[in-house]
Structure 1
Amino acid sequence: MSTRARARTLGLTALVAALVAPARGLAEDDEPAAIDVTVRGSTAPSFVARVSTDDRAREPVDAASMLAELPSVHVRRLGADGAQSTLSIRGSASTQVGVLLAGIPLTSGADPTLDVGALPLWPGASFRVYRGFAPASLGATGYLGGVLVIDPPTSLTGARTESQLLAGSFGALKVRAGDARKIGDVTLGLGVFGARTDGDFSYEVEDPRTRDLVTRTRTNAGVVSAGAIGRVALERSWGTLGATFLADARRQGLPGSATFPTTLPRLEANRLVVGVDATVRDLARGALRLQAWTRREGSHYTDPNGEIDPTRATNAATQTILAAGGSVGYRRAFPRLLRSTLGVFLDARGESLAPPERVGVSASRLAGGLGVELEARPVESLRLFATARLDARRDRATGLADSLANDLAPSGHLGASYRFSDALVVSAHAGALRRFPSFVELYGDRGSLLGDPRLRIEGALAADAGVSGDVAAGRALFRYELVAFVTSARDLIVFLPLGRSTFRAGNVDAARIAGAEASASLVHENLATTLSYTFMHTENLGADPLSRGRPLPGRPMHDLSYDAAYRIGPVRLRYGIDAVAGTTVDTAGVLQIPPRLFHGAGASLDVPGVSSLRIGVEVQNLFDVRTFRVRSPLARTSVALPVSDFLGFPLPGRTVWVTARFSPSSSSR
């Protein structure tokens, strides 16, 4: 595993939890009323959730909190703002979620999990989450849960210049600025960002002797980060030429768990992503798109006193991930043949992982895929979809586990959508998904995680079906989406305990994940409410008698997000609820993470006389909930545990943010 992922939390226990993680709200940018809060379904080839900094009831503090409001999307945090956070979709592991920026993959075999806690925000930042299935054109080779797509800054919604300042609890300070406009045939979009936080907060634990609550302080959790993202495109009559980049750097402490806190370990990480693309239109009644990209990620880890792992041969390590690739795709419409559209796509990439200090395994991968998409509309109300991909990989590893592997993995799905009216759209999809194991799963990390080069490719058969629609009555607009989904997975890759603080990768023979997603919004004049709820049932169907029939760890049974906002002249008030419950920790399904119910509130003011300035306050965990009592099967009584997404990594209590947003060239949002 990369040093970055290895060092982020004590003993990598956090990453192990992330490898078994889960689900959830939906937003789009239509603005029918005074408050920009909307929820809407999709008739795309899969169920898609969208969210942007411009259309939220809550002040967009970080990307992790924005994504956590989406249906079937679950974000697991390991501390306060800026701490490592992992993403799960429909009960997937974080390694099973593909992440792309404008078609450029940000996850790979060398670094399979994106830390959404480190994902930056900029004015106008927007994200799309494909739940379950994604278009073959994305080139997201190897995912089981879904795909997160990050949209670069754009002027498609109009010219804008905006800056933001956020100051919060625990020494947090964030600045963002962005500009997007069109100058002649050139469209420009740029965002810059910087943040810092002490990250230290107090939490409560139970003294095992007196049973009294004892207050402790989490330390060594400071984070400093900065970066920029941008896109430039030249529009011509024949097509478009464009370029996208993302550059950021980050320095953070590694605080460890509540049981084993640390004082000195640090991680420094940097990333540079550059891509160029071209689109040629009206080429034999079609469009040709080409893209080339490169990505470099570096990390430097230090642990001078060996607090994280005293058994390691070195307490400092530098590691580099290099990746490059490209894609070509052609899409053509056939209006006389069932009004159909056919797309063919080819993508390839190469990546390498250089081992720290020349110890461990040096690994490289050549991977690519051929994809086909077909859409037909035999009648106006009916849309039919079909996608198919064939992905291949060639791995080479030298060091402690010299090996060579070659594999092919077919995948694809069918879908249909029928619009009875705007108030009722019925959609369904079914297909097969595959994922190649990552380097850390194959070769381990020379520490707490032990790999297995014999791991089998993960696979799943999945299906979903749902209804969505918009119902307008006078000045009120109600939008809803109800979806049921089921996944039958085989050869799931998990890390299983092997003694104290050591875990070995292995395949779970079979597992089932089923659930339901519900999202809705109601907008009426100055009132807007949104609701997102996910219910999920999981079952381990493997051969191990201790875990067979038990729920899969790390997947919450209930996940709820609700917000209500009301505007009174220049003042906007908000109240919200976030609840997560029913998350088990162990494979036997006995230990549970304490359920959490957080209330939040916010208020903002469009400053009179300065229409482009908005100031506000946002309060998270309004009632300062920091502990919850759960029944212990060992003590046969209830014990107090810190509220957390993963045992041992408490979440902060009440958090206050003061915000200011200045938009001189656009209307106040």
Structure 2
Amino acid sequence: MRYPLLWCCLLFVFGATVDAKTNPTPSKKNTPKKATSPITIKPIDVKKKKRVETPEEKEPTGFATVIDLSKQHQRVRSLGESLRESAGVNARSTGGTGAWSALSIRGSSSSQVQILLDGIPLNHGGSGAINLSDLPLDTLKEAVIYRGFAPAHLGGAIGGVVNLITLFPQESSTFQANITAGSFGTLKTNLSWGGRQGQWEWFLLAHYIGTEGNFPYFDNHGTPLQTEDDLPDAVRQNNQNHLFSTLARAAFQPIKKLKLSLTYMLVGRNMGVPGVGNYRSEEASFGSTRHLLQLHVAGKHLPLAGLRWQSRVYFIQQQEVFKDLLGEIGLGRQDTNNHSLVAGWKSLIRWAPVAFWEGTLSFHARRESFQPKDELQPTLEQPERSRWSLQPTLQSLFYLWDERISIIASGQLEYLCTPALPVPIMPGFQPEEETMLLPIGRAGLRIQPWSFVLVQGNVGRYVRPPTFWELHGDRGITIGNPRLNPEVGLSMDAGGVLQFKKLGILREVRFGYAFFHTQSTDLIRFIQNSQQTAIAVNISEAHITGHELQARVNIADIWHLSADITWMEAINQSEIVAENGKQLPGRPLWEVSIRSDITLSWGRLFYSYTGLGGNYLDTANLQELAPRHIHNLGLTISPIKLARALGSTFPWHHLRLTLEVKNILDQRVAFVPLRPPLPNIKEIKQALSDYGGYPLPGRSFYISIQWKL
């Protein structure tokens, strides 16, 4: 049998369905209990507040982390900076506020991570990967990171899934304003208004963040062996970045069991493209605009007890403009104007007719289109790339031993249909319709014999279909390949949690560990097939093995300490001899994140440290990136609460001030080994960088004022 795991999962699901039909009407005695929540280890800035679980987050055997992003809106922080503090998660950036950033989970590529916004998948065939900087942190309430196994209806991915939840009012009526200013010409403003009245809820937010990005950095002029021409304080040029976004949400609840909501989000960006540190760009620029519209309907215990369902219709329209008329970036002059459009319908039915079983059926239909345009060749009309996808999913969840044991299995089939282009993309390839049937199977087990100990594990098969760029190229320097196979990942993980509560002043002590292994095959790469062109091929394979360790300590509900440690070996099994057996570039061998948070009635003092090392820039592992050790420190004060604590009064209510220093030690350079070494030179000086040699900023200062009415 070709896909044994998938068929086992499907039989498991259908077996549970047949069993459920024998008990169609539950009695009061068998009223289903609330499903077990995913084990989540929250960051330190999450206040102790009971959190309502949503259907999207119900995954008892997966390794999930919930990050409260609403507590970080006063800081100048990107979404990537917040996510990368979790174990197993790495976000690479081109440096500076608002710079391009992409996510990797457990050593995956950025295109192997599924990013969702309120349950809507943002990845599309036009690019595959998602730029995290296009998702303003100030519009988001929280992020749920699933490392590996995710709820089946959210869509599986080789690396994992991140579901971002947008803001919505929590009080009857609120108005809030926030302004932040800081180093390198950075300015951020937020205005929001939301409320509830009767059966209606609404929320409006306008957000802007901009920076000149002119931070100093170390430039060796591309001659690492010669120090005479080094510039220790070169200034970053053409690194300006301006982003504006709006979020509008409205909800109507005619009856207690039914709720309708409408969401609209607009994000516009205009930025310079500075180039790698040694090769500066003066005029290259990039701009993008994205519109997102969603209508969501949800019901519970309607029309049957134990039945919950939801359905959403969504549209995503995006435009990306890249100009490099001087040929400063890449190969040759470029002036592109690309449009993409995504429309979809997604539905979910979750039924728990008995206390020990819950079944889920979901269906996702979607159409994607991508229209490239080369402004340098206006007479050359590029054909539209498009494809349809249908994705039914079945999931079965069993509870045994008074819910101390959870067993889950799911099966998913994704049907992709890519219409033929009107003309061949290259000689020898005749236009024809391409179809793919992509099976995904997953299974997991969780055992919690006592309240303070838990063990769990998962296995799964995931796929990533080729993007339009990989299938059809750009009719320029890249050539597509319609015969590409999808990337396939076989993954497993296992681990557990130890948690103790109310040990004297220790309100909570928690330790989590996870082991993971992923084998990815048919990885897609562009290889050079002529002097000026490259073609996409299935050539690579990777074996990724790692360990994740998380620790949380809560001292008297005042001092919160947390640490996330990841150690990972991502080994390239490429057919190219020079790359085989080497570490995949952009996957650090180790990464550490430590946070400390002291919260009092009148304010909060926070500190964070991030460090990583064993990271390479190239596939042959000849260019090692400098190890990074970044310390950040900040203080938030509520003046009126501080004044009351000191025995006096203060006229301004609900006012908060935040001071923050990032990269306190101003680390901008480090020494790395020279490969291969020379007799008199063993190591060289290198600028601190994160992706592709793009330098990172040094010490920076920010001050923020927030007023709430």
Counterpart amino acid of residue 79 in structure 1: G
Compared CA separation, residues 510 and 300, structure 1 to 2 (3 A): closer
1:233 aligns with 2:251: yes
What are the equivalent positions in structure 2 for 1:226-375 lying under 5 Å apart? 226-235=244-253, 236-281=255-300, 282-285=302-305, 286-309=307-330, 311-312=332-333, 315-335=334-354, 339-357=356-374, 358-360=380-382, 362-375=384-397
Q: What TM-score do you get using the length of structure 2 for normalisation?
A: 0.83
For 2:696 and 2:533, locate their aligned partners in 1 and report how far apart those are by CA, in whole Å.
25
Report the Cα offset of residue 542 of structure 1.
3.3
- Tell me the alpha carbon deviations over residues 480-525 of structure 1, each in whole angstroms, 9 at most, x when there is no partner: 3211111111112234567889754332443211111112221113
Tell me which residue corresponds to 1:591: 623
Q: For 2:702 and 2:476, how far apart are their aligned partners in 1? A: 38
* Residue 79 (str. 1) matches residue 80 (str. 2): no
One-letter code aligned to 2:620: A
Conservation of the 8 A alpha-carbon contact between 2:612 and 2:627 = yes
Instruction: Give how far 1:634 is off.
Output: 4.6
The alignment's TM-score, normalised by the length of structure 1, stands at 0.88
Structure 1 residues 438-494: Cα deviation after superposition (integer angstroms, max 9, x where no partner): 112222334554433222111111111111243121232222321111111111223
Larger mean Cα displacement after TM superposition, 339-348 or 606-615: 606-615
Match of 1:616 in 2: 658
Deviation at residue 629 of structure 1 after TM alignment: 1.4
Pick closer, same or farther for the CA change 1:219–1:122 going to 2, 3 Å. same
CA RMSD of aligned residues (A): 2.6
In structure 2, C-alpha distance between the alignment counterparts of 1:577 and 1:297, rounded to whole Å: 36
Counterparts of 2:566 and 2:520, CA distance in 1: 20
Query: Using the alignment, how far apart are the partners of 1:233 and 1:388 within structure 2?
Result: 33
Structure 2 segments unaligned to the other structure (5+ residues): 1-39, 50-56, 375-379, 426-430, 641-649
Partner of 1:406: 435
Q: Which residue of 2 aligns with 1:9?
A: none
Q: Does 1:456 align with 2:485?
A: yes
Q: How far off its partner does 1:565 sit?
A: 2.3
Q: CA deviation at 1:32?
A: 4.1
Using the TM superposition, give the Cα deviation of residue 206 of structure 1 relative to its aligned residue in structure 2, in angstroms.
2.8
| Counterpart position of 2:700 | 655
Determine whether 1:547 maps to 2:598.
no
Q: Take 1:173 and 1:271, find their aligned partners in 2: how far apart are those partners?
A: 22
> Who is 1:6 aligned against?
none
Quick check: 73-82 or 215-224, which moved more?
A: 215-224
Larger Rg: 2
| SS across alignment from 1:278 | strand
Q: What is residue 379 of structure 1 aligned with on the other side?
A: 401
Q: Structure 2: which amino acid aligns with 1:372?
A: L
Q: Deviations over 1:232-268 (max 9, x none)?
A: 2222234111112211111111111123211112222
Aligned length: 628
In structure 2, what is the equivalent of residue 422 of structure 1?
A: 451
Cα distance in 2, alignment partners of residues 99 and 342 from structure 1? 24
The AA in structure 1 aligned to 2:315 is: T
CA apart distance, 1:390: 0.3
**Paired position in structure 1 for 2:496:** 467
- Give yes or no for the alignment of 1:388 onto 2:411: yes
In 2, distance between residues paired with 1:261 and 1:587?
24
Deviations 1:524-572 (A, max 9, x none): 1321111111111111223333222221221111111111122466343
Secondary structure of the corresponding residue to residue 419 of structure 2: strand
Taking CA–CA contacts closer than 8 Å with sequence separation of 6 or more, which of the two structures ends up with the larger relative contact order? Answer: 1
Secondary structure of 1:170's counterpart equals helix
Compute the displacement of 1:400 (Å): 5.0
Q: 1:623 to 1:203 in 2, by over 3 A?
A: same
1:204 and 2:249 correspond = no
CA–CA distance in structure 2, aligned partners of residues 45 and 230 of structure 1: 34
Distance 1:61 1:434, change over 3 A: same
Contact kept in structure 2, 1:28 and 1:55, CA below 8 Å: no
Say if 2:172 and 2:197, in contact at 8 Å, map to a contact too: no
In structure 2, do the counterparts of structure 1 residues 629 and 501 end up closer, same or farther at CA, with 3 Å as the change threshold? farther
Amino acid at match of 1:128: V
Could you give the per-residue CA deviations for residues 288-335 of structure 1, whole angstroms, max 9, x where no partner exists?
3221111100122323333335634xx433221011010222221121
Structure 1 residues 361 and 397 mapped into 2: Cα distance closer, same or farther (>3 Å)? farther
Cα 1:210–1:98 shift into 2, 3 Å:
closer
